[in-house]
Structure 1
């Protein structure tokens, strides 16, 4: 009888409660800021990380999850009797973690040859960040409990990763500039003119698809862009930083346009915050024509 494990990293931004309730196996990223290193979600909560950011001008650094860590995780799951391990990683274009998950798999089978005919390991590149893969992993865990097999779960996840996108507006460009997500020149021009970029995270890439002039226009313009690009009558998720006020306002606008409320709210974790900052509003959707 098959026994399926879902393995992912802490950039999925699922809550501890959800991870524990659904039995998802989590590997944390390690971040360093102000001379202090900590494991995301384990040593510090997201709120504690936001508070830490307010006390320093340093941009946090995060390291890849190593092949050895993956190898150890696979071995532990194999010893627990799992026959299928579905490993989902942060966007491979932004981190070497996905490649390390494959190296770890190869090392595991080399060092534990008797596992080759007893366990299958599926390595998936989420092509994105945060709840873009956290939400479908959560739904996949529920599908497993309802009896779905490994092939069904992999197909469901790959479909999600291929068709979805996050439309995000950071309303403080300090972190995006320092991390290189937005060039210093563009960030300076944006700050000078009061322009906020609308960033699309999809297909492994980061693209500025529009600009919004002034904070008062963020809500109506973001809702307009999202409604135009989302597949009708499909769920959407609201993502926010340390404050969810704008997220609630965007949801109200989207409700007027679509008649649907957000499927879920979530806050960005430490890894994403380190690159784009804690002042952000974003919407996750299934895109049209994908």
Structure 2
């Protein structure tokens, strides 16, 4: 069984290599030049480049032909089952491209017995990454293709997302918050906290200052965490690993959770819209 994801899953390279996950890159465009997410450009370098860029960076979904290339590569390597987990169709065309790439591959190989399942995760960043990682763990333990597919489709709307940002300008460009709200937020040091609702981002809280953001994350985790499904938590960050470390420490000391907590930097495609100072948290909710 071959596991694939688009690059917005934001999983660490260590996990990608450990479980042999194929990552299909999005394109990031800076001043008219295209870069492959994770391959040509990393997050820290990206933020240095946009300091002097003439216009905001933009992102583009993988093409159907690129998906088709990855499917062919997997089949040539002997795989008979392919599971692809994509970012939410509510925020990108990645899932649609994956489905088109699948259909193109099947049209060109009408006699193939290969199974391909493309998932619209309804998640973003480490949210889809959480599902990819969980799938990898299930595969490692011997789960069948159908079992993994059914799990992902059944639980994808239960992956809890939280994201807070320091630079509200990136959310304005993404259309997630109004310019007026951003000005007020900056004056009062108010940080919006977003989650995913039916595959799209939505502001669920506004907290004043970083400490209150961390407190909110921990309080919500204690209320919402599904202890039967959450065997690991992912904490994401764009530029400040220390605040991610602070959140990890609070979870360890202020919650009963005893599973693994992974700190992972958001990739360029996601960081383009989040901006510096982003902090996220992902787990399975009740």
Task: Answer whether TM exceeds 0.5 for this pair.
Answer: yes
Cross-structure match for 2:267 = 269
2:100 maps to which of 96, 103, 112: 103
Q: Distance in 2 between matches of 1:219 and 1:127?
A: 25
2:28 maps to which of 28, 31, 44: 31
Ranges in structure 1 where 5+ consecutive residues have no aligned partner: none
- Larger displacement relative to structure 2 (119-128 or 189-198): 189-198
Q: Distance in 1 between matches of 2:175 and 2:55?
A: 14
Report the secondary structure of 1:88's partner residue: strand
Report the secondary structure of 1:7's partner residue: strand
TM-score (structure 1 length as normaliser): 0.90
Deviation at 1:227, TM superposition (A): 2.6
Q: Deviation per CA, 1:171-195, whole angstroms, max 9, x where unpaired?
A: 2212111222222222122123321
The question of whether the paired residues in 2 share the 8 Å contact of 1:181 and 1:276 is answered with: no
2:199 maps to which of 193, 197, 204: 204
Kindly tell me: are residues 141 and 219 of structure 1, through their superposed partners in 2, closer, same or farther at Cα, counting changes over 3 Å? closer
Q: 2:133 aligned with 1:138, yes or no?
A: yes
Cross-structure match for 1:183 = 178
Deviation at 1:275, TM superposition (A): 1.0
Cross-structure match for 2:190 = 195
TM-score (structure 2 length as normaliser): 0.91
The question of whether the paired residues in 1 share the 8 Å contact of 2:130 and 2:283 is answered with: no
Deviation at 1:36, TM superposition (A): 2.5
Kindly tell me: are residues 263 and 78 of structure 1, through their superposed partners in 2, closer, same or farther at Cα, counting changes over 3 Å? same
Cross-structure match for 1:173 = 168
- Larger displacement relative to structure 2 (132-141 or 65-74): 132-141
The question of whether the paired residues in 1 share the 8 Å contact of 2:248 and 2:261 is answered with: no
Deviation at 1:216, TM superposition (A): 4.1
Q: Distance in 1 between matches of 2:204 and 2:221?
A: 11
1:280 maps to which of 273, 278, 281: 278
Q: Deviation per CA, 1:46-87, whole angstroms, max 9, x where unpaired?
A: 222232233336321111111111122222222222111111
Q: Distance in 2 between matches of 1:207 and 1:157?
A: 22
Q: Distance in 1 between matches of 2:237 and 2:36?
A: 21
Deviation at 1:31, TM superposition (A): 0.6
The question of whether the paired residues in 2 share the 8 Å contact of 1:167 and 1:226 is answered with: no
Kindly tell me: are residues 44 and 98 of structure 1, through their superposed partners in 2, closer, same or farther at Cα, counting changes over 3 Å? same
Kindly tell me: are residues 243 and 111 of structure 1, through their superposed partners in 2, closer, same or farther at Cα, counting changes over 3 Å? same
Kindly tell me: are residues 255 and 57 of structure 1, through their superposed partners in 2, closer, same or farther at Cα, counting changes over 3 Å? farther
Q: Distance in 1 between matches of 2:152 and 2:262?
A: 18
Ranges in structure 2 where 5+ consecutive residues have no aligned partner: none
Q: Distance in 1 between matches of 2:280 and 2:54?
A: 24
Q: Distance in 2 between matches of 1:204 and 1:272?
A: 15
Cross-structure match for 2:14 = 17
Q: Distance in 1 between matches of 2:247 and 2:13?
A: 26
Q: Distance in 2 between matches of 1:268 and 1:159?
A: 25
Deviation at 1:100, TM superposition (A): 1.4
Report the secondary structure of 2:111's partner residue: helix
